[in-house]
Each structure stands twice: as C-alpha cells, then as structure tokens.
C-alpha cells in the first residue's frame, strides 16, 4: 500500500513515527539552546573574571595610596627627642649636697611629643645586666622646638649608687615618647660620658629606636667615641 499522509496518521505506527520525529526535533532544539546557554555562561564567567581582576587591582592601588597617605601624615606629626643644643644647658651630675641629682636636658626637634617615661641606665660592678633607675620629665608634652629634662633624684640612701657611674665615667638616659595621637612609640637614647679635660658630663651619642625594637634605626656620634 502506498504511503500517504492519510495512511501515516491513520495507523499506530504512523503516530509513533511522528512522535519520534518530534522528539528528535525537540531534543535538537534543546541541545541548541543548551549550547547557546553554555556559551553565554562562559562569556559571562570570563567577563566576571575580568571585573574581579580589575576590582582586585583597584583595591591594591587604593591600599597603596592609603598607606602612602598614612605614612605622610605620620611623618608630619612624628616627634624627635634629641640632645639639647645650647651651650648653657648641660648634663648635671650633682653630688654636692645630700640629695644627689642627675639632670639630662633634651629638646624636641620635630612635632609635639608625649613623654611616657625617662630612665637612667648604667653597668654596676659584678652585674651583667644594666641597672635601670626611673626618673621623671620636667615637661610631659614638649612642643616642636620645646625642651624637657630627665631628672633622677637619688637622695641620701641611694647616693652611693653613683659611685660606680663616676668610676666608669659613663651612663645613658632613655626618653620614651609617642606622637600627639598616642602612636609611633619611640625611644631616644642619650649616651653620656665624663670628659676629663673639660671636667664635665657631655652627650656623645644619640640613637633612636622604635619602642618594640631592641636596636636603633638611627645613630649619631663622633668618630672618636
């Protein structure tokens, strides 16, 4: 029997054939749509990856700019405690009366400082570690160009502790301080020696370190010391 449209639609086999063809066409269409969706998803992923990389680079540059701004600001408000430059203000090592007194002048060469402590150090006979003696600053917040003193009073009971310092002819004093914001803690160390020629105590070395460090990041001293 010749195959006609009537015959196809009039038999079960015909309907099955039509269904199979329709299913194949549907599957083909779905495959095309899936492929198109996959390509679009891939392109979107690539575009998203580019946006992420650009965002990361922008964040890195922004972080660098913030760090540079922070350092510039800290440099503007960073104090610097150093030895007193005037000839009329020298280290006092006074044992002439009962209250033995040691006075070490210093000045602030930069931005306002907040003094957090002053200490005097020396090596005692037979003791491997340096002795630490706590004093007080005469000015707690020296302004830029301002002065302060580290004072150490030994009194009658402790005056004998200066004997070893006089024998050695040297000791050092440390000024601990921060900037006006309470940040950038640092310590300035002034090494002091006795000059037999002038018969006076002078600052021969200045070193500066960060409070969390043990070694200075900057030092100034004559080559003969």
Instruction: Tell me which of 43, 76, 109 is where a domain ends.
Output: 76
Same domain, 31 and 91: no
Same domain, 55 and 106: no
DSSP state letters, 156-188: HHHGGGHHHHHHHTEEEEEEEEEETTS-S-EEE
Q: Is the pLDDT of residue 70 over 90?
A: no
Instruction: Tell me which of 41, 76, 111 is where a domain ends.
Output: 76
Task: Give the pLDDT score at 17.
Answer: 55
Query: Phi and psi for 121 in degrees, rounded to 5?
Result: -135, 145
Which DSSP letter does residue 141 get?
Answer: S
Same domain, 99 and 174: yes
Q: Is the pLDDT of residue 4 over 60?
A: no
Residues 6+ apart with CB under 8 A from 99: 153, 154, 155, 156
Same domain, 23 and 38: yes
| Mean of pLDDT values over 91-98 | 86
Instruction: Tell me which of 53, 76, 99 is where a domain ends.
Output: 76
**Locus of tokens 């004559």:** 222
Distance CA 160, CA 151 (A): 17
Same domain, 91 and 170: yes
pLDDT: which is higher, 151 or 125: 151
Same domain, 100 and 63: no
Number of domains in the chain: 2
Distance CA 45, CA 50 (A): 9
Same domain, 117 and 61: no
Same domain, 115 and 69: no
Task: Give the pLDDT score at 66.
Answer: 56
pTM: 0.69
pLDDT: which is higher, 187 or 9: 187
Task: Give the pLDDT score at 55.
Answer: 76
Residue 225: inside a domain? no
Distance CA 5, CA 15 (A): 11
pLDDT in tens, 148-189: 999 999 988 888 889 999 999 999 999 999 999 999 999 999
Residues 6+ apart with CB under 8 A from 95: 159, 162
User: What CATH number did the domain enclosing 208 receive?
Assistant: 2.60.40
Full residue range of the structural domain in which residue 19 is found? 5-76
Q: Would you state the structure tokens that stand for residue 170, as one six-digit string?
A: 């040297």
State the chain's mean pLDDT as an integer.
Answer: 82
Same domain, 87 and 68: no
Q: Is the pLDDT of residue 28 over 60?
A: no
Task: Give the pLDDT score at 30.
Answer: 52
Same domain, 25 and 66: yes
């Amino acid at each position: 029997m010749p195959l006609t449209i009537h015959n196809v639609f009039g038999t079960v086999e015909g309907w099955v054939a039509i269904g199979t063809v329709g299913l194949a066409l549907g599957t083909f269409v779905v495959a095309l749509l899936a492929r198109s969706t996959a390509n679009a998803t891939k392109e979107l992923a690539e575009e998203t990856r580019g946006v992420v990389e650009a965002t990361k680079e922008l964040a890195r540059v922004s972080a660098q700019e913030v760090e540079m701004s922070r350092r510039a600001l800290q440099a503007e408000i960073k104090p610097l405690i150093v030895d007193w430059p005037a000839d009329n203000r020298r280290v006092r090592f006074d044992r002439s009366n009962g209250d033995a007194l040691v006075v070490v002048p210093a000045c602030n060469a930069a931005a306002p400082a907040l003094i957090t402590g002053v200490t005097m150090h020396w090596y005692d006979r037979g003791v491997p570690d340096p002795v630490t003696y706590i004093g007080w600053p005469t000015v707690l917040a020296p302004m830029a160009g301002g002065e302060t003193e580290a004072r150490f009073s030994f009194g009658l009971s402790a005056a004998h502790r200066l004997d070893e310092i006089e024998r050695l002819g040297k000791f050092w004093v440390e000024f601990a301080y921060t900037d006006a914001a309470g940040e950038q803690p640092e310590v300035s160390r002034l090494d002091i020696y006795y000059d037999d020629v002038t018969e006076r105590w002078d600052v021969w070395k200045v070193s500066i370190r960060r409070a969390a460090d043990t070694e200075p990041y900057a030092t100034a001293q004559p080559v003969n010391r």
